[in-house]
Chain A
């Protein structure tokens, strides 16, 4: 079963996302990272097992845009679907994220409902078992 990597500097936000995933019935193991740099370290040891990355934009050290841009350049991890989960929901920011990582699989603007998160990640996880 593929792992889900949740990247957000807010511990509460990570907990909320994980709760939604688990309440939706997904039993995938979940990995957590507090910023882009930690997420890269996590991917370095788990890249073959990670089926989706849910990533915030505004984070210290390495932000979400820098992170998705960095992994897009590494063939081993470039194909992992990434979903941005962020307050940066304007059209120009979405375009910026898509330009940084052509494999961007989804974009969720905060605040979001559990249904939005579920409907975004379900097809990705189902096609990426």
Chain B
């Protein structure tokens, strides 16, 4: 776990809440977990790269996606049209932008890519393997349930890595010298 992690958790939560408030006119409520009905769902994901790299994803059932985009466009939509797919992609785009603005205050930056949206059945969110960190938050907006994940890893500053290596080398030499001096 790194120092930026708690800030990212907060930034993601705030960004989702702010996005719901401004796009839908209703704030999102953070939930402990989301129970998805046994129905097809939509996952829209957007990658980013920079000091921090990874991706944001939104996970929402088909019926909830229709309700959410209906509120966005103030019209009734009851099937997953291209507007629904597009609307969910726009939602994750805006959420990613919100996190980007918030982490700029921490001198961190990244560039956002173009969203990819997939639709299917019985999909589950899995954490990425390797050194990536995983944040998963669940929200409810007027009983519309959605989950948002942020999977990321930090890019270490090359200068900082070199300095850390040099310091470790120095420490090792001092320890070795101390051992030799003690023996003598």
Contact = CB atoms under 8 A, between A and B. Distances in A.
Interface string B41-80: 0000000000000000000000000000100111000000
Q: For A10, A12, A113, which residue has the most chain B Cβ atoms within 10 angstroms?
A: A12
Contacts of B114: 9, 58, 60
A57 B109 CA distance: 17
A87 to B, nearest CB: 2
Interface residues of A, number: 22
Contact of A10 (B86, B101, B109): B86
B104 A90 contact: yes
A12 B86 CA distance: 6
Contact of B22 (A13, A88, A89, A113): A113
Interface string A9-33: 1111101100100000000000000
Contacts of B72: 12, 16
A91 interface: yes
Contacts, number: 62
A111 interface: yes
Interface stretch (B87-95, B120-128, B140-148, B174-182): B87-95
Contacts of A73: none
Q: For B82, B89, B93, which residue has the most chain A Cβ atoms within 10 angstroms?
A: B93
B83 interface: yes
A88 B104 CA distance: 11
Given A109-B97, A111-B94, A12 B73 contact: yes
Nearest to B103: A90
B104 A12 contact: no
Contacts of A16: 23, 72-73
B101 to A, nearest CB: 5
Contacts of A87: 93-94, 96-98, 100, 112
Nearest to B83: A12
A90 B109 contact: yes
Contacts of A10: 86, 89-90, 93
Given A10-B93, A87-B94, A15 B83 contact: yes
A10 B96 CA distance: 15
A15 B100 contact: no
13 contacts: A9-B114, A12-B72, A12-B73, A15-B73, A58-B112, A87-B96, A87-B112, A91-B104, A92-B109, A109-B97, A110-B97, A111-B22, A111-B98
Shortest 8 CB-CB contacts between residues of A and residues of B: A87-B97, A111-B22, A12-B87, A12-B86, A90-B104, A10-B90, A110-B94, A111-B94
